[in-house]
Amino acid sequence: MDKEELAQDILEFLGNRENIEENTTCMTRLRVKVFDFSKVNVSELKKVDGVLGVVCNGNLVQIVLGAGKVDRIGKNFSELTKLSLNESRSNDNKKVDIKNEDIKKILIKNKKNFENNRKFQLFFQKIANIFVPLLPAIIAAGLLQGATNTIDIVSSNFQTIWWYQLLKTISWISFTYLPVFVGINATKEFGGTSILGGIIGALFVQNENMPILKNIGNIGKVILPIVNKNFYVGAGGLFSALLIGFFVVFVEKNVRKIMPDILSKILTPVFTLIICGIIAIFVILPLGEIITNILFLFLNFIYNKTGIISGFVISACFLPLVSMGLHQALIPIHILLNDPLGATKGINYFMPIIITAGGGQVGAGVALYVKTKNKKLKKILKDTIPAGILGMGEPLMYGVTLPLKKPFVTACLGSGFGGIAAVMLHLGTITQGVSGLLALLIVIPGSQLLFLLAMFFSYLGGFVLTYFWGVDEGKICEIYGEVGK
Report the pLDDT value the prediction gives residue 415, as an integer from 0 to 100: 96
- The per-residue pLDDT for range 135-172, each reduced to its tens digit, is 888 888 888 887 887 787 777 788 888 999 999 899 88
Cα–Cα distance measured from residue 386 to residue 76, given in angstroms and rounded to the nearest whole number: 27
CATH code: domain 1-88 is 3.30.1360.60
**For 332, what's the count of Cα atoms within 13 Å in the CB-facing half-sphere?**
29
Residue 105 above 80 pLDDT?
no
Quote the mean pLDDT of the chain: 85
**Catalytic: 56?**
no
- How large is the average pLDDT for residues 36-57? 86
Report the pLDDT value the prediction gives residue 149, as an integer from 0 to 100: 77
Residue 101 vs residue 354, higher pLDDT: 354
Phi, psi of 372 (to 5 degrees): -75, 155
Place 111 in a pLDDT band, splitting at 50, 70 and 90.
Answer: very low
Report the pLDDT value the prediction gives residue 89, as an integer from 0 to 100: 64
Instruction: Parse the chain into domains and list their residue ranges.
Output: 1-88, 177-299, 307-480
Percentage of the chain with pLDDT > 90? 35
- How large is the average pLDDT for residues 401-424? 94
Contacts of 126 (CB under 8 A, 6+ apart): 189, 190
Cα–Cα distance measured from residue 420 to residue 458, given in angstroms and rounded to the nearest whole number: 9
- The per-residue pLDDT for range 427-446, each reduced to its tens digit, is 999 888 789 998 998 899 88
Cβ atoms of 164 and 145 closer than 8 Å: no
Cα–Cα distance measured from residue 179 to residue 200, given in angstroms and rounded to the nearest whole number: 9
Report the pLDDT value the prediction gives residue 451, as an integer from 0 to 100: 97
Place 92 in a pLDDT band, splitting at 50, 70 and 90.
Answer: very low
- The per-residue pLDDT for range 299-325, each reduced to its tens digit, is 888 888 888 899 999 999 999 988 877
Report the pLDDT value the prediction gives residue 235, as an integer from 0 to 100: 63
Report the pLDDT value the prediction gives residue 467, as an integer from 0 to 100: 95
Burial category of 142 from C-beta neighbours within 10 Å (exposed 0-12, middle 13-18, buried 19 and up):
buried
Cβ atoms of 52 and 92 closer than 8 Å: no
- The per-residue pLDDT for range 206-260, each reduced to its tens digit, is 777 788 877 676 667 778 888 777 777 766 678 888 899 999 999 999 999 999 9
Percentage of the chain with pLDDT > 70? 90
Report the pLDDT value the prediction gives residue 223, as an integer from 0 to 100: 82
- How large is the average pLDDT for residues 267-284? 94
Cα–Cα distance measured from residue 159 to residue 370, given in angstroms and rounded to the nearest whole number: 53
The model's pTM is 0.74
Report the pLDDT value the prediction gives residue 217, as an integer from 0 to 100: 66
Contacts of 260 (CB under 8 A, 6+ apart): none
Residue 117 above 60 pLDDT?
no
Residue type, 470: G
Report the pLDDT value the prediction gives residue 209, as an integer from 0 to 100: 79
Report the pLDDT value the prediction gives residue 219, as an integer from 0 to 100: 67
Cα–Cα distance measured from residue 436 to residue 390, given in angstroms and rounded to the nearest whole number: 5
Report the pLDDT value the prediction gives residue 234, as an integer from 0 to 100: 67
**3-class secondary structure per residue, the chain:** CCHHHHHHHHHHHCCCHHHEEEEEECCCEEEEEECCHHHCCHHHHHHCCCCCEEEEECCEEEEECCCCHHHHHHHHHHHHHCCCCCCECCCCCCCCCCCCHHHHHHHHHHHHHHHHHHHHHHHHHHHHHHHHHHHHHHHHHHHHHHHHHHHHHHCCCCCCCHHHHHHHHHHHHHHHCHHHHHHHHHHHHHCCCHHHHHHHHHHHCCCCCCHHHCCECCCECCEECCCCEECCCCCCHHHHHHHHHHHHHHHHHHHHHHCCHHHHHHHHHHHHHHHHHHHHHHHHHHHHHHHHHHHHHHHHHHHHHCHHHHHHHHHHHHHHHHHHCCHHHHHHHHHHHCCCCCCCCCCECCHHHHHHHHHHHHHHHHHHHHHCCCHHHHHHHHHHHHHHHCCCCHHHHHHHHHHHCHHHHHHHHHHHHHHHHHHHCCCCECCCCCCHHHHHHCECCCCHHHHHHHHHHHHHHHHHHHHHHCCCHHHHHHHHCCCCC
Cα–Cα distance measured from residue 472 to residue 396, given in angstroms and rounded to the nearest whole number: 17
Residue 449 above 80 pLDDT?
yes
Which strands make up the sheet holding 60-64, listed edge to edge? 20-25, 29-34, 60-64, 53-57
Handedness of CA 118, 121, 126, 127 (dihedral sign): positive
